[in-house]
A and B are shown apart, each in its own frame.
Chain A
Amino acid sequence: MARSVAAAAPEQRAAGVGRLVGRYGWPAVFLLPATVLIFLFFLVPVVTTLYLSLTNISVITFRHPQWIGLANYRALLGDPFLPKILGNTARYVVFTLAFNVGMGLLLALLSTSVRQRYGDQIRALWLLPRIMPPVVYVLIWQGLTREAPFGLVSDLTGLSRNWIGAQPWTVLILANGLVGASFGMLIFTSAIRSIPNDLFYAAAVDGATANQTVRRVVLPMLKWPIMFVTAYQTLSLLTSFEYILLLTDGGPGFYTTTVWSLHAYKLALSNYSGNVQFGLGAAMAAFLVLIGIVVSIFYLRIFNYRALVAEPKVEVN
C-alpha cells in the first residue's frame, strides 16, 4: 500500500474526505453539546477541586489564590474535630444504608406477596418521599416532630419535646431512610419479577412454605441486586448532605451531626466559622471526588462493562 493520499486521483480524494466527515463529522455534531457541558461541569470542576485544595484561597484571596502545596491537607489532619466528623460520617452511612437496604428488601418482598394492585399502590406511596421536593419533605418532618400538643410524635409517645433536637440521629437516619428505601424497593421488585415462574411452582410442588420460598428461592436470586444497591448507595450517601443541612444543619450544638461532605460544604461556602476557608473545604471535597472516581470506575469493572459498551449492531458509513 505505497500509494500516498497526494497521489490519489482528485475525485478519490474528495470521496475520502467525505468519508472522513461522515465518520467523524456526524458523531461530532451530535456529541458536541453534551461534550461541552460535561467538560465544563464535570471534568473542569474535578481539576478545579484538586487545584483549589492546594491553594490558600479564601474570601480575601478569591481572585488571586496562592499555591501552598499540601498545607490544607496538613491542617485537615491536625483538625481536632476530624475524628468526630469521621465517626459521624461512618455512623450516617452505615445506619442509613442498613435501613435503606433492609427496608427496601422488606418492602419488595412484602409488596410482591400481595395482589399486584395493592403492591403497586404501596410502592407508589413509598415513592412519594423521593419525588417530594426535599424542602417540603423536611418541613413535614419538622411539623411531625414538634413539641406537644402540635407534633404527632410527641402526642403519640406522651413525651413533649422537639425530637429533631432531642434525637437528631434517629430523625436523620429515618428521614434519609424513608427516601432511600424506595431505590432498593424498586430494583429488588423488578429482580423478583424476573425470577422464572417455574421456580415458584417447583417450590410449591415440593411443599415449600412462603417463608422457605423466600429464603431458598428469592433471596439467593437477589444477591447481585443487593450488592449493587449497597455499593451504589454507599457512594451517594458518602457525598450527600442535603437532608442533613435542612434538618439539623450539622447540629444541634457542636458538630453533633456534621458529616464529611457537609463540613466541606460549610467550610467552603458558608460563613459559620467567621471566615470562609475555601481551600480547606476544597481539600475535604477532593477526598470525596477521588473516592467517587475510584469507586465508580470500580463499579464498571464489576457490573460488566464490556457488554454495556458493545459496538452498535447496525452501522452505515
Chain B
Amino acid sequence: MPLLPPRWRLVALGVAVLSLPIAAGLIWLLLSGVFDKIHGLLPVGRPTLENWRFLSQGVGGRPPIYVPLLNTALFAVLVAALEVIIASMAAYAISRMSFPGRAVYLGLVLVLHAFPAVSLIIAIFYMLRLLGLFDTLIGVILVKASLELPLGIWLMKGFFDYLSWDMEMAALVDGMSRWTVFWKVAFPLVRPGLLALGTFALLSAWGEFILPFTLIVSSQRAMMATYLQSFLTEAFADYGMAAAVGLFYALPVLLLFVLGQRYLLNIYGGGVKG
C-alpha cells in the first residue's frame, strides 16, 4: 500500500510475533543438529559431531549417505532438466504456432494444471509395475516430471507470450527453420522463465517424498526424503541425528533461502502451484 499507517512499526512488530513459530522451527533445526541435547530451544549439552557420524558410516542398517544423496541429486537435476526442456518446447508451440486443436490442447493443460495429480498415485503404481519401471530411478523421474508438466507449460507459455516476436521473425525470414529458431533465438531469450521453472522444479523434486516412498523400495535407490523418514519412524527416534540429517538435507534449500529471498518470492509469487 502506498501510504503506510501511522503506527506501521507496531504492525511490523505484530507480524514478527505472528511469525515466531517459523523462526522457532528453524532455530530448533540448526541447534539440534549442532548440540547433543536441546531443551526447548536451549542447548544443554555441548556442541558435538556425534550426530553427524552418518556422514562417514552407514547407520542402523541404512546405506551410506552418499547413496541417497546422489540419488536425490540425480533425481532433482534430471526432473528439472526434463521439465524445463519439454515444457518449453510445448509452450513455444502453443504460444507461437496456430494448429488445429490448439485451444483444446491449451484447455487440457489448464485443466491438468488445476487437477490434483496425487489422486492418480494408485494407478501410477500399477502402471509402473506393468511397465517394469517400478523401483527404478527412471520411473520415478518420468512420473515426477510428467506430473509437473502442465504447470511448466503454463508458466513458460506466459514467458513466450511476453517475448517480442521481432527477432524470431527476422531469423525465419533469413531462412532458419522453426527448430533452429527455437533453440538459437527463443530459448535463450526466456532465460528468466527457464531459471524460475528450473528452480521451482529443483526445489520440488529435492523435497519430494510421496513418489519415492511409494514407487521405490530398494535401499540402493533410496532418496534423502525416505532416508530421513526412516529415522522418524523408529521406536525411539534419535532426534539429534535426525536433526543433523535433516539439516544436511535442507542445506541447499536454506542456502537458496538466504541468498535468493527476493528471487524466490518472485518465482512463487508468479502463480506456481500451491
Contacts and interface: CB of A to CB of B under 8 A. Distances in A.
A124 B265 contact: yes
B38 interface: yes
A246 B127 contact: no
B235 interface: no
Interface residues of B, number: 113
B70 interface: no
Contacts, number: 333
Interface residues on A, range: 35 or more
Contact of A49 (B120, B210, B231, B256): B120
A139 B124 CA distance: 28
B242 interface: yes
Given A34-B153, A297-B111, A305-B110, A242 B210 contact: yes
Chief secondary structure at chain B's binding surface = helix
Contacts of A308: 106, 110
Nearest to A149: B39
Contacts of A122: 12, 15-16, 19
Contact of A155 (B3, B40, B106, B146): B40
Residue among A111, A128, A201, A296 facing the most chain B CB atoms (10 A cut-off): A128
A106 B18 CA distance: 10
Given A33-B89, A120-B262, A140-B246, A288 B119 contact: yes
B21 interface: yes
A127 B25 CA distance: 13
Contacts of A268: 122, 125
Given A26-B178, A139-B246, A34 B122 contact: no
Contacts of B237: 142
B274 A37 contact: no
In order of increasing CB-CB distance, the 5 nearest A-B pairs are A183-B274, A133-B207, A210-B5, A34-B90, A41-B146
Interface of A: 23-24, 26-27, 29-31, 33-35, 37-38, 40-42, 44-46, 48-49, 52, 57, 62, 106-107, 110-115, 118, 120-144, 146, 149-152, 155-156, 174, 178, 180, 182-183, 186-187, 189-190, 192, 195, 197, 200-201, 204, 210, 213, 218, 229, 232-233, 235-236, 238-242, 245-246, 261, 264-265, 268-269, 278, 281-282, 285, 288-289, 292-293, 295-297, 299-300, 305, 308-309, 311-317
